[in-house]
Homo-oligomer: A and B are copies of this chain.
Amino acid sequence: MKTQTLPQLRGEMTRRAILAEGERVFAELGYDRARLEDVAQGVGIRRPSIVHHFAGKQELYDAVEADIYASLHACSRAALDADLAPLDQLLALLDAWLDLMVARPTAARIVQRLVADVSPRHGNPVHFSELALVDLEAVVDRGVRTGAFRPINIMQVVNGVAASTLFYVCNGRQIGSSRTYDPADPKTLAEFRALIHRIAKAAVSAE
């Protein structure tokens, strides 16, 4: 590993702070309403300092989205352990994604919005998400190939199973005061995790 100079380290820290604040602002306001000025203010720097790291709003948004999917991909590693049975791989992958989204609700909101509106992705909606979709695909493919799963399409698993996690994380405070919950509350989270496991098993089981 190359040793970084102090200015390089400071530059890297600033870049990370901009990225984190960018994720927060894009999650809260959406791509259209988010402004680089809001991000700069949140970080405590001036707008030109952002442009030193990210050429513009689109570039910052792209970096935020790339970082979310890279994180999903990174936390999928345990699930891809070839020693696990296909169903255990699938549950491990869903657990990892659930834990990531609960810990990082800004990411859940950005992915959720991307399903409603792909405009920030222009011609290639899976430019960044492909990385995480391929992980899920590998697990489903192996299950189907080995006969552990019924022949099920990847999109059935994406829409029918993985989607729930985004709703769970985003919906906590916006479905009316009588239905409010904290997605990070251990008991609530354990209940939802058990539900995801039930649903995943029902979706892929040969029955």
Contacts and interface: CB of A to CB of B under 8 A. Distances in A.
A-side interface size class: 35 or more
A154 B191 CA distance: 12
Contacts of A203: 195, 198-199
Interface string A108-123: 0110110111100000
A116 B27 CA distance: 8
Contacts of A161: 164, 199
A100 B171 CA distance: 22
Given A192-B156, A202-B202, A176 B126 contact: yes
A181 interface: yes
Interface of A: 30, 32-33, 109-110, 112-113, 115-118, 125-126, 129-130, 133, 153-156, 158-161, 163-164, 166-168, 170-171, 174-176, 179, 181, 191-192, 195-196, 198-199, 201-203, 207
A27 to B, nearest CB: 8
A195 B160 contact: yes
Nearest to A113: B116
Given A113-B113, A159-B192, A160-B192, 5 more contacts: A30-B117, A126-B174, A153-B191, A154-B179, A160-B168
Contacts of A113: 113, 116-117
Given A158-B167, A181-B155, A175 B33 contact: no
A169 to B, nearest CB: 9
A116 B29 CA distance: 10
A152 to B, nearest CB: 8
Given A160-B199, A195-B160, A155 B175 contact: yes
A195 B156 contact: yes
A109 B125 CA distance: 16
Contacts of A201: 202
